[in-house]
Structure 1
Amino acid sequence: MLKVTGSAMPGPVSLLFPTRVFAASRDGDPQPSALSLLRDELSLYTAPPPLQKPRNVQPEAGQLEQSVATLREFTEPYTGWCKDTYSTIKPKVQSVVQCGSDTYAYLKDPPKDFYPRVGVIGFTGVLGLFLARGSRIKRFMLPAGLMTVSASMYYPEKAATIVKSAGDSVYDRAVQSYAALEKMVNPQSKSGKDSETKP
């Protein structure tokens, strides 16, 4: 049996120096023998073995997790395509919604004589369909032409603006098509003129 005697040194300093330990003999000798040991040498004060660092062990994936992973891998190209398509279509959808809300606000509080004008323009379109019997070109051209004439009578400023912009674009397209046609018909005439100008 071991008996530890305290030292007169204060606190932590006493841990550094050897401590006197008395051990009782097994023979029944009443005189204990004295040993001088450090506290770390006693089994009561031995430091515990260092803890092992816990390993982050991932559990094995179950059947549901594997199915979800396979589904994600299968749909990944399609989700990227859908995101690109959505980013392309989103502004167009927003513009259509904005146009619809503007039209609703306009029709909710229309200007004076709006509905009679719309009625006359619509009636001329129906009249054009009634008069355009025969070919499909007549069925398209006659109602559209009559509606355009009646609309331009009610809204002359807007009609003049539309006619001017349409005329400019038609003129530009005609000039471009004429130039392209000339290149296709006479490709050597231009190269011949270039060679004549370079003596």
Structure 2
Amino acid sequence: MKMPILSLYSSPARETKYVENPQTQLEEGVSHLRHAMEPYTAWCQDLYAKAKPQLEKAVEQGFEFLQNPPDGFYPRLGVIGFAGILGLFLARGSKIKKLVYPAGFMGIGASMYYPQQAVAVAKVAGTQLYDWSLQGYIAVESLWKDNIPIC
């Protein structure tokens, strides 16, 4: 009787078939959202790529400035920061006060040490505020005129 020869190195051929699981509703929704947001994410990535070198340069200059600050910079910074903390402490109650008081106190503190820059900022802010109020006045006036019934 003859013995069958069994190969140690070969295996019988199997037929395998890959079956992909159907997507759930959540997966389809996420996929649709990703495709819809793709132009916006590409725009953000482009903006980041353009802004990154400028931000790195600004951070480098900031570190350089903090390593060699002008005379009296840190005491001034301390007074301005303390004014902001004091404004936050005094702004108990509404959320608007918590925004206005610290910013106002810090602005007053900074204007004591840097009066020329404060005047320049105040001029620009005043002009901008005037323009916004004028635009608001024109918009309200046009709405008022459009909605008045003529008897």
TM-score tier, shorter chain, comes to: 0.5 to 0.7
Aligned: 1:112 with 2:112: no
Structure possessing the higher relative contact order (Cα contacts under 8 Å, 6 or more residues apart):
2
Shift of 1:188: 8.2
What one-letter code is carried by the residue in structure 2 that aligns with 1:158? Answer: Q
Which residue matches 2:138?
179
Structure with more of its chain in helix, by fraction = 2
Aligned partner (choices 142, 160, 174) of residue 119 of structure 2: 160
Choose 137-146 or 155-164, whichever is displaced more. Answer: 137-146
Which residue matches 2:48?
89
In the aligned structure 2, how far is the partner of 1:173 from the partner of 1:85?
Answer: 29
**Where does the alignment leave 5 or more consecutive residues of structure 2 unmatched?**
1-34
What one-letter code is carried by the residue in structure 2 that aligns with 1:136? Answer: K
Which residue matches 1:148?
107
State the identity as a percent: 39
Structure number with bigger Rg? 1
The normalised TM-score by structure 1 is: 0.51
Q: Compared with structure 1, are the counterparts of its residues 92 and 128 closer, same or farther at alpha carbon in structure 2 (3 Å cutoff)?
A: same
Task: Report the number of matched residues.
Answer: 113
What one-letter code is carried by the residue in structure 1 that aligns with 2:130? Answer: Y
- RMSD (CA atoms): 2.4
Aligned ranges 1:8-19 → 2 under 5 Å? none
In the aligned structure 2, how far is the partner of 1:163 from the partner of 1:94?
Answer: 31
- Runs (4+) of structure 1 exceeding 6 A deviation are none
Shift of 1:127: 1.4
Which residue matches 2:93?
134
Shift of 1:141: 1.5
In the aligned structure 2, how far is the partner of 1:185 from the partner of 1:108?
Answer: 58
**Where does the alignment leave 5 or more consecutive residues of structure 1 unmatched?**
1-76, 190-199
Shift of 1:83: 4.9
The normalised TM-score by structure 2 is: 0.65
Aligned ranges 1:35-54 → 2 under 5 Å? none
